[in-house]
Chains A and B, each alone.
Chain A
Amino acid sequence: MFKILKQSIRTGIVTNSFPAVIGDPPDGFRGKPIIDYARCTACDKCAEACPTTAITVEAKAPAESNQKILSLNYGDCIFCGECEVACPEAIRLTEDFQLATTEKSELLSQACFKESKTGYFEFSEVVAQAPPAQQSAEEIGAALKEKIDKLFGRSLHIREVDAGSCNGCEVEITALSNPVYDIERFGIHFVASPRHADMLLVTGPVTRNMEIALRQTYEATPGPKIVVAVGACAIGGGIFGKSYASCGGVDTVVPVDVYIPGCPPRPEALLHGILLAIDRYPADRLSTEE
């Protein structure tokens, strides 16, 4: 017993002073890729390098081969950095990881390129723009703090459903319970039954063999229920896509409220997404903390 006490005292408080640390991944962290359209010629090298078709370059329409559409879908991105290697002139992987959104359309950036007289393609207009990540770590911190305060005295019950993930997302969800992130201090608990859950946290591309189980879990969860799709697979099939074995994303099976990009999303990105989801939940309906 003495030994335990002594060690606990020596370790002290280890929990990150969240949200102060959010937004501070180490140098070299591979977050949201951004394309500098002014330096881009829609040449296709990045699309060729991308292992998941998160980046595509296509003719605007079959008849308009003099116009190309460059798309970057953050939902499909696995943050490997290969596009940056293929085109360091125009593409850079930033440190932004707080990409969770409630609208899938907000995960897409698209730009139109027109063929110039010299034969090169040049940027002409933005077609769709994924909203930029929040300005500063402090701002996000303040916003999150407010939400946590709203949660005070209440708790959120999460049921995790692995719908055929690679287990990478689970590694990070599990990390949320370690003493550094300590998700329980926000009043967030993982529960053993869908009947007690306010939120489903779903990972994986939804394999054929998990499709029915996911649907049943969703049906067994009392309303209002929030579904959070975690990771590239859950958003749109990720690297596994859609096939005989996978449905290609959670929203092909049940409605999704929040999408958290990443492969896997790091724990702070998960917290950001979960807290975003809480916003969508009527506060008076949250389980009262015993």
Chain B
Amino acid sequence: MKQKYIQLLRTTWGNIFTEEITPVANELYLTLESGALSKLPEICSVLVKALKAHFVMLLANDERELHGKFFIYYVFSMTADNLFLILRVPVDAREREVPSITASLDSATWFEREVQDWFGIVPFPNIGKLAVHPDWPEDVYPMVKEFDLKRSVRRVKGSFDFKHVAGEGVFEIPVGPVHAGVIEPGHFRFSVAGEPIVNLDVQLFYAHKGTEKIAEGMNPHRAVFLAERISGDSSFSHAVAFCHAIERTQQIEIPQRALVIRTALLELERISNHIGDIGGVLLDVGFSIAASRAFYLKEKFMHLNEILTGSRLLRGMAAIGGVRRHIEDTLAKREAMQETLKDGQEAFEELVDLLMSSSTVLDRLESTGVLAHKDAYRLGIIGIAGRASGIDRDLRRDHPHCAYPYLKFHSVLCNEGDVFARVNVRIDEVRESFRLLEQLRRQHVDEPIKATLQSPAPDRCALGYFEGWRGEIVHWVMIGKDGNIFRWKITDPSFHNWRGLKLAVRHNIVPDFPVINKSFNLSYSGNDR
């Protein structure tokens, strides 16, 4: 499989790639020759257009102490072959420049800006700041190795560089970073002409906690707890994605029972969040009776989480090599699971009936906040927002792991791209999750729940990924010589999707913003880390 892609690339560009050896079966690392750097945009473009690769993410790694250079890793997913093709591109330690690939791959824009802000590697043509605020000094890059995590960085004078829309009657409404409700911090700036929004600028990274930097030098087992805290609503998915990455670097075989437990918890996380989001949308359109039923139902599932795992957010469960605890080891737990699933399913269908029976509510949801398929494709929108705009991608099916290869489910797809489609995707996904949980309950695999682990082999890297409820979560980890984390890149689906929200609100009226926003329900903490 890997050979096929190497051949394909070599026939077009000649021998400018070196294959790096990795024990990970579905990852192909190809290092580009320094002299061929200028071909990078073209290669990426061909991968995406001719070979149907999906751009997953790009990340920089300060490998000066290892190879005297920085490297940027461009990660593509070749869905048809369940393969990740990773272009590894050297960046000169002094010049720190690399050609931008955004001319043909718009979806890489934010990634390139982050690399610029955190590593000082400039993708040319040059672009604006994203991941540091204007009071951050010019020449300080927190992700280079010599930057000390504990260092306190002075504030400089500077102001946000918002896009100002000129025109008669256009005025700006600034909102945040502290919001009216219980919402994460971010600054929104609406440009409106009368009622319609003509532009939305979003300044994020208020929740930046330096998570990737904190993890450097950390023991991977300890970092699992950090992974649980990347985005609270996706605690388990992020933790599993991280463990998956570490397990792949070490070729760890996970006991079946642990896979079953992981899968069950992942689906439970999906159910409670989807139901909560449906409630949020209903609340924002003023259907409070239905909303409170949704919140009640979500609470039931949070309570179930606590019964099964001791944590309402499913924390303290994921472990490298499996899971830390059984979830159905007592009669009380089994009964709670049985009952919540049964009652929950009924209550959920009633909720859906209620929603669908209100034509005024449907009116508000349909044709609101439309994200067209072509825009979603161009921006690389993924997850529920992507599937609501016809982007047929679901890692559970496309790059399966956990118990998914053995389970029957289908991936939900809608094409309208409006708030209603995003609600519908959630509704059908909740139904699928119930189906998945039923299948999992029938599996009686009695085995340990955690693999026995050796001390980690050094100098290995791998991706770890999972289709969380919001969308695909992808981590990349490199283990250093000491067996600790050398580099950890975290990509939350929100990082792809914020640009989709910005586009979807255009031409809608300001009072519809909350419901459009809720229908995306993007994470700030996951985005900012």
Within 8 A of B (CB), among A99-113: none
List of B residues within 8 angstroms of A242 by Cβ: 150
List of A residues within 8 angstroms of B230 by Cβ: 166
Contact B149 A243, beta carbon cutoff 8 Å: yes
A210 beta carbon closer than 8 Å to chain B: yes
Scoring A residues 76 to 88 as 1 if CB is less than 8 Å from chain B, else 0, what string do you get?
A: 0011110001000
A61 to chain B, nearest CB (A): 25
B167 beta carbon closer than 8 Å to chain A: no
Scoring B residues 295 to 317 as 1 if CB is less than 8 Å from chain A, else 0, what string do you get?
A: 11011001100110111110110
List of B residues within 8 angstroms of A241 by Cβ: 214
User: Contact check: which of B180, B225, B231, B316 meets A167 at CB < 8 Å?
Assistant: B231
Scoring B residues 153 to 197 as 1 if CB is less than 8 Å from chain A, else 0, what string do you get?
A: 100000000000000000000000110111111000000000000
Contact A29 B306, beta carbon cutoff 8 Å: yes
B255 beta carbon closer than 8 Å to chain A: no
B357 beta carbon closer than 8 Å to chain A: yes
Contact A78 B225, beta carbon cutoff 8 Å: yes
B350 beta carbon closer than 8 Å to chain A: yes
User: Contact check: which of B207, B302, B307, B311 meets A30 at CB < 8 Å?
Assistant: B311
B514 beta carbon closer than 8 Å to chain A: no
Contact B316 A246, beta carbon cutoff 8 Å: no
Given contact pairs A80-B315, A166-B525, a sample of 17 additional A-B residue pairs in the complex whose CB atoms are under 8 Å apart:
A3-B357, A159-B178, A163-B185, A165-B525, A167-B523, A168-B313, A179-B299, A207-B209, A208-B133, A209-B177, A209-B207, A213-B185, A217-B178, A239-B226, A243-B149, A243-B150, A243-B214
Measured between alpha carbons, how far is A277 from B136 in the docked complex, in Å?
Answer: 36
List of A residues within 8 angstroms of B208 by Cβ: 164, 207-209, 245
Contact A213 B206, beta carbon cutoff 8 Å: yes
User: Contact check: which of B149, B214, B316, B332 meets A80 at CB < 8 Å?
Assistant: B316
Contact B296 A14, beta carbon cutoff 8 Å: yes
Contact B232 A170, beta carbon cutoff 8 Å: yes
A217 to chain B, nearest CB (A): 5
A sample of 30 cross-chain residue pairs with beta-carbon separation below 8 angstroms, ordered by A number, consists of A11-B296, A26-B332, A28-B307, A78-B225, A79-B311, A80-B225, A81-B310, A162-B183, A164-B185, A164-B525, A165-B232, A165-B525, A166-B229, A167-B232, A167-B524, A170-B232, A171-B312, A178-B296, A179-B299, A190-B182, A205-B209, A209-B206, A210-B207, A213-B185, A217-B178, A240-B214, A243-B150, A245-B142, A264-B313, A266-B306
B127 beta carbon closer than 8 Å to chain A: no
Measured between alpha carbons, how far is A28 from B357 in the docked complex, in Å?
Answer: 41
List of A residues within 8 angstroms of B207 by Cβ: 162, 164-166, 204, 207, 209-210
List of B residues within 8 angstroms of A80 by Cβ: 225, 315-316
B303 to chain A, nearest CB (A): 8
Scoring A residues 182 to 205 as 1 if CB is less than 8 Å from chain B, else 0, what string do you get?
A: 000000001011100000000011
Scoring B residues 315 to 357 as 1 if CB is less than 8 Å from chain A, else 0, what string do you get?
A: 1100000001100001010000000000000000010011001
Contact B184 A167, beta carbon cutoff 8 Å: yes
Measured between alpha carbons, how far is A27 from B308 in the docked complex, in Å?
Answer: 9
List of A residues within 8 angstroms of B181 by Cβ: 160, 190, 192
Contact B206 A210, beta carbon cutoff 8 Å: yes
Contact A179 B182, beta carbon cutoff 8 Å: no
List of A residues within 8 angstroms of B296 by Cβ: 11, 14, 178-180
Q: Which 8 A-B residue pairs are closest in the complex by CB-CB distance?
A: A168-B232, A192-B180, A245-B210, A167-B232, A178-B295, A51-B225, A166-B229, A26-B307
List of A residues within 8 angstroms of B67 by Cβ: none
Measured between alpha carbons, how far is A164 from B204 in the docked complex, in Å?
Answer: 11
Which bracket fits the contact residues of A?
A: 35 or more
Answer whether A27 and B332 are a contact pair too, CB < 8 Å, given A167-B524, A170-B184. Answer: yes
Scoring A residues 29 to 48 as 1 if CB is less than 8 Å from chain B, else 0, what string do you get?
A: 11000000000000000000
Contact B289 A243, beta carbon cutoff 8 Å: no
List of B residues within 8 angstroms of A274 by Cβ: none
Scoring B residues 218 to 233 as 1 if CB is less than 8 Å from chain A, else 0, what string do you get?
A: 0000100110011111
Contact B184 A162, beta carbon cutoff 8 Å: yes
Answer whether A180 and B306 are a contact pair too, CB < 8 Å, given A172-B312, A264-B313. Answer: no
List of A residues within 8 angstroms of B454 by Cβ: none
A227 beta carbon closer than 8 Å to chain B: no
Scoring B residues 222 to 246 as 1 if CB is less than 8 Å from chain A, else 0, what string do you get?
A: 1001100111110100000000000
Within 8 A of B (CB), among A117-172: 159-172
A116 to chain B, nearest CB (A): 32
Measured between alpha carbons, how far is A160 from B350 in the docked complex, in Å?
Answer: 33
Contact A178 B315, beta carbon cutoff 8 Å: no
Contact B182 A170, beta carbon cutoff 8 Å: yes
A4 beta carbon closer than 8 Å to chain B: yes
B476 beta carbon closer than 8 Å to chain A: no
B422 beta carbon closer than 8 Å to chain A: no
A55 beta carbon closer than 8 Å to chain B: no
Contact A28 B310, beta carbon cutoff 8 Å: yes
Measured between alpha carbons, how far is A34 from B232 in the docked complex, in Å?
Answer: 26
Answer whether A8 and B523 are a contact pair too, CB < 8 Å, given A168-B229, A178-B296. Answer: no
A263 beta carbon closer than 8 Å to chain B: yes
Tell me the nearest residue of chain A to B222, going by C-beta.
A51
Measured between alpha carbons, how far is A174 from B209 in the docked complex, in Å?
Answer: 22
Measured between alpha carbons, how far is A81 from B319 in the docked complex, in Å?
Answer: 13
Report which residue of B180, B209, B226 has the largest number of chain A beta carbons within 10 angstroms of its beta carbon. Answer: B209
Contact A7 B293, beta carbon cutoff 8 Å: yes
